[in-house]
Amino acid sequence: MQEETDTVQEGVVGQEGVVGLEEPKKMTREDWRKKKELEEQRKLGNAPAEVDEEGKDINPHIPQYISSVPWYIDPSKRPTLRHQRPQEEYEEQFSSINEWYKRGVQEKSVNTKFRKGSCENCGALTHKKKDCLERPRKVGAKFTGSSIAPDEHDQITLSMDYDGKRDRWNGYDPDDHMRIVEEYAKVDVAKRTLKAQKLQEELASGKLVDQTEREHDSEDEDEDKYADDIDMPGQNFDSKRRITVRNLRIREDIAKYLRNLDPNSAYYDPKTRAMRENPYSNTGKNPEEVGYAGDNFARYTGDTINMASTQLFAWEAYDKGSEVHLQADPTKLELLHQSFKVKKEDYKDMQKETILDRYGGQEHLDAPPRELLLAQTEEYVEYSRHGAVLKGQDKAIARSKYEEDVLLNNHTCIWGSYWKDGFWGYKCCHSVVKQSYCTGEAGKKTMSTTCVPFEEGLEIAEEEEVPKTLLELHQEKMKDKKKKKKKDKKHRKRDSDSSDEEDEATKREKLKKALLAEEQRQRDMAEMMLLDERKRPYSSLTEVKEPTEEEMEAFRMKRPREDDPMAAFLSHWHHTQPLHSCIHTVAHLR
């Protein structure tokens, strides 16, 4: 039975070899079945393991994608695991990990004579004059034959493998680290020496404190020094135990859903832990002032706005007929966008220059910026609590372009400092006539008192000398009231009689004069509006009085009414008809 099994195995192996050499032919169904049976027997241990070309057994449990040989390694397709082992030929063609470029000069005696083929500048044999790194000499070593530089190490060519090219410590010299350690050791020794000298000086001067207290203070000082460096958010430093504990989360950080507890604020997605909107949007705070303005706020910063503007320009250019696309040809789009910006700025400048040439106003654009006009100065002014200046110079009062404090004709106050009964005047003399001569206190007394005859004045003075009783004063007051009532009744009767006596012709004549005056006033106002504001005359000398009924009626008749549909027709009719017919028609309408 064993002989039959061996015979079957040898036949299958032979067939496998034949099949492997005759690839890419397909295996027959029978050969495939025998191959699977043999693999099962090898896995169960009933058949011996497969042997590779080096005489080593192949584990039958190795997966096929590992044991199969790639086509570029062994075209014969023989069973082997050689491609999974390190290749000696591959290791021999690369440099070892200990090989590195030698730096510096060779440790041997320096030559004193110039050698043929050496550097003409320094005399070293390992490089030429064009590769010399020494300062160019005025007379090279080739002609002087002195100060020959030592030879450098010959630079060998290293071929690094995959790991050697990516080794960050490749070529590191441990002696460099030892040199740093020795330097720090020398610094520590120097510090101890200085400290010992300081202690000796304090001991000699009698200022030395207890040694134990000094050591304790120095230890606390060192601990505090290191604690300042280590104490940061999210860490707890204990100087007694000398350990640092890292918290899981910085406690100063506020969770997104706790920034605004209003249910109508920004929506928080607990699954993705995202809050896209600004949680402070309903509070009225500026997004730039708050610590967190939503996840979308960061998306609109940086080059995002530039990208969006470029995309918008690409869409607009495509609609106008330009074949540009942001993803297909970004370089062309960027250049086109830059040229468009330049042309747009040039067009704006040209349009601005055209407007300035036509209307003027360049002097207003050349004014210094507002920050410089209202800038701070170094002038120091100190005020009291009442507003008086204690130190420094008081701020100058802003003056207008008109003349101020111009006093004429012996006046001590300007015109317009006094007002009475609708008239402006001078405060110093109460005169209401402009450019009059100042009379001082005498003018005030004259304006405040009324002129009465001399005899009446004497009678009044005599009457004032005799004191009156309260009853007499009351009787006089009642008599004055009765006289006033009688006078008012007489005036009312007189007004009614006069209005009855006034005929229609007088009213027409007054209304005609009022209309002519109103037309003249409107023409004057139109001419006044055409003048410059700074060239308009003063209106302080005009008489101020209450308008009459005829003037009010003329104002109502001449007042423009834009909402009246017959306004255009009436204005045309008024221009064509005589003025007296207009007045007659209005009077009939009333």
Dihedral angle sign, alpha carbons of residues 459, 464, 469, 470:
positive
How much is the pLDDT for 24?
47
pLDDT-derived band at 589 (thresholds 50, 70, 90) equals very low
Q: What is the DSSP string of 380-418?
A: --EE-TTS-EEESPPPPPPP-SS--S---TT-SS-TTSE
Q: What is the DSSP string of 228-272?
A: HHH--TTEEEETTTTEEEE-SS-TTPPPGGGS---TTS---BTTT
Helix (H) or strand (E) holding 57, with range, is strand 57-58
Mean pLDDT, rounded, for 162-191: 88
Mean pLDDT of the chain: 77
User: What is the spatial distance between Cα 217 and Cα 194, in angstroms, rounded to a whole number?
Assistant: 18
Indicate whether 246 pLDDT > 60. no
DSSP state of 372: H
SS3 485: helix
User: What is the spatial distance between Cα 434 and Cα 426, in angstroms, rounded to a whole number?
Assistant: 8
Q: Torsion angle of alpha carbons 200, 206, 207, 210, nearest 10°?
A: 80
Mean pLDDT, rounded, for 492-496: 66
Measure Cα distances from 427 to 119, 340, 416 in Å.
Answer: 106, 69, 8
Which residue type is seen at 152? Answer: E
Q: What is the DSSP string of 531-578?
A: S-GGGPPP-TTS------HHHHHHHHHHS--TT-TTHHHHHHHHHHS-
Q: What are 204-241's pLDDT values in tens digits? A: 887 665 554 555 555 555 555 554 454 454 455 555 55
Least confident of 27-31, 125-129, 247-251: 247-251
Instruction: Specify the higher pLDDT residue, 483 or 77.
Output: 483
> For the chain, what percent of residues have pLDDT higher than 90?
19
How much is the pLDDT for 573?
53
pLDDT-derived band at 92 (thresholds 50, 70, 90) equals low
Please count the other Cβ atoms lying within 10 Å of the Cβ belonging to residue 275: 21
N-to-C CA span, the chain: 148
Quote the strand ranges of 400-474, DSSP E.
418-420, 423-425
Q: How far is CA 70 from the centre of its chain?
A: 62
Q: What is the DSSP string of 445-479?
A: HHHHS----HHHHHHHHHHHHS---HHHHHHHHHH
Mean pLDDT, rounded, for 423-431: 90
Which residue type is seen at 530? Answer: L
Strands 50-51 and 57-58: antiparallel
Measure Cα distances from 70 to 2, 50, 419 in Å.
Answer: 35, 18, 116
pLDDT-derived band at 124 (thresholds 50, 70, 90) equals very high
Nearest of 250, 261, 224 to residue 239 by alpha carbon: 224
How much is the pLDDT for 282?
81
Q: What is the DSSP string of 332-347?
A: HHHHHHHHHHHHHHHH
How much is the pLDDT for 183?
94
CB 508 within 8 A of CB 587: yes
How much is the pLDDT for 3?
41
CA-derived radius of gyration, the chain: 57
Instruction: Specify the higher pLDDT residue, 572 or 116.
Output: 116
Q: Please return the burial class of 333, using the count of CB atoms within 10 Å of its CB with bins 0-12, 13-18 and 19+.
A: buried
Instruction: Specify the higher pLDDT residue, 428 or 588.
Output: 428
Indicate whether 429 pLDDT > 80. yes
User: What is the spatial distance between Cα 358 and Cα 294, in angstroms, rounded to a whole number?
Assistant: 50
Tokens in use for 550? 């005829």
pLDDT-derived band at 348 (thresholds 50, 70, 90) equals very high
DSSP state of 105: B
0.75 surpassed by pTM: no
